[in-house]
Amino acid sequence: MTVSIVTTQNFGMDRYSQEIAQRSRGPVFSVDRYNSSPGQMWEVVDALKEFCQPVHYPNQHFGWYAFSAGLPYIMTVHDLERITMSFPRENVDEQRKLRMDAAAIQKAHHVIAVSHATKRDIVRHLNVPKDRVSVVHNGVDHSVFHMREPIHQEFPFILYVGSERPRKNLRRLLAAFSQAKKDADIASLKLVKIGGPGRSLEFREDTLSAITEFGLTGEVIFLENVDDDLLASYYASAKALVYASLYEGFGFPLVEAMATGCPVITSRYGAQSEISGNAGYLVDPLDTNELSRAIVDVVSDGNLGRKLTLKGLKQSKKYCWNDAARETVKIFKLVEAKVEKENDIIKLCEEESSFARDHDSQILLETGLLANSGRG
Superfamily of domain 157-316: Glycogen Phosphorylase B; (3.40.50.2000)
DSSP secondary structure string for all residues of 76-132: EE---HHHHT---TT-HHHHHHHHHHHHHHHH-SEEEESSHHHHHHHHHHH---GGG
| Cα distances (angstroms) measured from residue 360 to each of 89, 314, 352, 353, 355 | 56, 70, 12, 10, 9
Per-residue pLDDT reduced to its tens digit, 204-247: 999 999 999 999 999 999 999 899 999 999 999 999 999 999 99
Question: CATH topology of 3-138+321-342 equal to that of 157-316?
Answer: yes
Please name the amino acid found at residue 31.
V
Q: Where are the chain's structural domains?
A: 3-138+321-342, 157-316
Asked whether the beta carbons of 250 and 271 are under 8 A apart, the reply is yes
Burial class (CB within 10 angstroms; exposed 0-12, middle 13-18, buried 19+) of 159: buried
Q: Please determine, for residue 137, whether its predicted confidence score (pLDDT) is greater than 80.
A: yes
Strand order in the sheet with 280-283: 220-223, 190-194, 157-161, 241-243, 264-267, 280-283
93-130 pLDDT, tens per residue?
778 888 999 999 999 999 999 999 999 999 999 999 99
- Multiple choice CATH, 3-138+321-342, 3.40.50.1700, 3.40.640.10, 2.40.50.140, 3.40.50.2000: 3.40.50.2000
Neighbours of 99 (CB within 10 A): 13
Which residue pairs from 95-103 have beta carbons closer than 8 angstroms and sit at least 24 positions apart in sequence?
97/61, 97/63, 97/64, 100/63, 100/64, 100/67, 101/60, 101/61, 101/62, 101/63, 102/63, 102/126, 103/63, 103/67
pLDDT digits (tens, 9 = 90+) for 62-86: 999 999 999 999 999 999 988 776 5
Q: How much is the mean pLDDT over the chain?
A: 90
Pairing of strands 264-267, 280-283: parallel
User: 371 pLDDT exceeds 70?
Assistant: no
Model confidence pLDDT, tens digit, residues 242-271: 999 999 999 999 999 999 999 999 999 999
Nearest to 5 by CA among 41, 39, 334, 37: 41
pLDDT at 89 over 60: no
Residue type, position 289, single letter:
N
pLDDT at residue 364 tops 90: no
Q: Are strands 73-77 and 157-161 parallel, antiparallel or unpaired?
A: unpaired
Q: Is the pLDDT of residue 173 over 90?
A: yes
Q: Tell me the pLDDT tens digit for each residue of 312-349.
A: 999 999 999 999 999 999 999 999 998 888 765 655 55
* pLDDT for 198: 85
d(CA 108, CA 110): 5
Q: Report whether pLDDT(88) > 70.
A: no
C-alpha 371/C-alpha 376 separation (Å) is 9
Q: How far is CA 368 from CA 12, 52, 82, 359, 363, in A?
A: 70, 44, 66, 14, 8
CB neighbour list of residue 144: distance below 8 Å, 6 or more residues apart: 228, 229, 232
Q: What is the pLDDT of residues 274-303, one digit of tens each?
A: 999 999 999 999 999 999 999 999 999 999
